[in-house]
Amino acid sequence: MASLIKGPALFLAQFAGDEAPFNSLDSIVKWAADLGYKGVQIPTFDTRLFDLEKAAESQAYCDEVQGICKDAGVEITELSTHLQGQLVAVHPAYDQAFDAFAPAAVHGNPKARQEWAVDQLMKAARASRRFGLDNSVSFSGSLAFPYLYPWPQRPGGLIEEAFAELARRWRPILDAYEEQGVNIGYEIHPGEDLFDGATYEMFLDAVDGHARAQINYDPSHFLLQQMDYLSFIDIYHERICAFHVKDAEFNPDGRQGVYSGYQSWVDRAGRFRSLGDGQVDFGGIFSKMAQYGYDSWAVLEWECCLKSPEQGAAEGAPFIASHIIDVTDKAFDDFAGGDTDKEQIKSMLGLDR
């Protein structure tokens, strides 16, 4: 029986560049296909690869993009709006840093930057439907994250109002995605207000359990927080619509732990690694995904503090392929069984006496 999980696929964001084969969609998808990838997740914010403005309005352009991918032998898995989603909600502490995610015309103008981000997400909803995609992936943005640690003491109502405002900003976007029949898979990620299961539930409550507010599952962020990322699947599997396959390791010592002491990535206790080089139990994850009938894509998101992206990508496709489970429709002990006999069952239970 074939697996429900599709893949391997590759998120193109970390590979896009100004030199071939990474500087155009045509060349980068051929490169990905040659490595064994069957799907690509497209960053809508990188104009070297994709024109979101055209995709939102032109079916002909979307057909052209799909044709490029099909000719290379890959499918489009999802459209990514991570950078635009981040800009839906930005705490003033991060204004200057996150301006880099937006066009120069809105730098220094948080209101205009947010309006641009919302417009981008609306366009991505329409583009996703033109491509026939049911899922997209994004970030939630953050208003409360600077207050993560409760010192100084947080005034009562601060977090509640932050999530209420986050919901006010996202609700119209989620409604627009509902109109298009597209899910938003939020990547649960430190730096976002949705960084673990508890905060995801707070957001879900604030948007009245909106059906389109789903999850892009990435275990690397949970390992670095020392969460039980397998139990996360047990709890939230009905809301997981996308899957970033990314590895990480956590090696605390007498000098640093989860917060990693402001050190560079190489020197942190918690580090992102290429697939197979970290500590994430992907055998357990793919088993859980198969158990719950996850039927979308397994997408490599490459981030590593040591290994080159080219080597990480080359190793990633066979790694994912080797973990995808061909789900059986048989019980392992079927050979020892027989036909159901109601009289025999009654007899075995002593009910015929």
**Which is it for strands 240-245 and 247-250: parallel, antiparallel or unpaired?**
unpaired
DSSP-derived 3-state class of residue 19: coil
- The pLDDT value given to residue 1: 46
* CATH code of the domain in which 315 resides: 3.20.20.150
Pick from 18-32, 166-180, 301-315, 316-330: least confident:
316-330
Q: Rounded distance, CA 174 to CA 181, Å?
A: 10
Residues 241, 296 contacting (CB under 8 angstroms): yes
Query: What average pLDDT does the segment 208-226 reach?
Result: 98
pLDDT (tens digit per residue) in 115-155: 999 999 999 999 999 999 999 999 999 999 999 999 999 99
Question: Mean pLDDT, to the nearest integer, of 24-36?
Answer: 98
Asked if residue 125 belongs to a domain, the reply is yes
What is the amino acid identity at position 48?
R
Decide if 181 contacts 126 (C-beta within 8 A).
no
Q: Is residue 1 part of a domain?
A: no
Q: What is the dihedral of CA 26, 28, 33, 36, to 10 degrees?
A: 180
Structure tokens at 290: 């198969």
Output phi, psi for 170, to 5 deg.
Answer: -90, -25
The helix (run of H) or strand (run of E) holding residue 80 is strand 75-81
| C-alpha of 237 from chain center | 13
Q: How far apart are CA 297 and CA 8, in angstroms?
A: 7
The verdict on residue 353 lying in a domain is: no
Q: What is the DSSP letter of 154?
A: P
pLDDT band at 335 (very low <50, low <70, confident <90, very high): low
* Rounded (5°) CA angle 27-61-106: 90
Domains of the chain: total: 1
Would strands 135-138 and 183-187 be described as parallel, antiparallel, or unpaired?
Answer: parallel
- DSSP strands (E only) in 58-182: 75-81, 135-138
Residue 340: predicted pLDDT: 78
CA distance 215 to 249: 22
Tens digit of pLDDT for each residue in 99-115?
Answer: 999 999 999 999 999 99
Q: What string of DSSP letters covers 257-319? A: -TTGGG--GGG-SEEEE-TTSS---HHHHHHHHHHTT--SEEEE----SSS-HHHHHHHHHHH
- pLDDT tens digits, one per residue of 183-209: 999 999 999 999 999 999 999 999 999
Q: Answer whether residue 117 is part of any domain.
A: yes
Query: How do beta strands 240-245 and 270-273 pair?
Result: unpaired
**What are the structure tokens assigned to 270, written together?**
């918690």
- pLDDT for res 148: 97
Which percentage of the chain shows pLDDT scores above 90?
A: 92
pLDDT of residue 331: 62
Structure tokens at 27: 């060349």
The residues, ordered by sequence, that sit 6+ positions from 319 with a Cβ below 8 Å of its Cβ are 8, 275, 276, 282
Domain that holds residue 74: 6-348
The number of beta carbons lying within 10 Å of the beta carbon of residue 10 is: 32
Euclidean distance between CA atoms 241 and 143, whole angstroms? 25
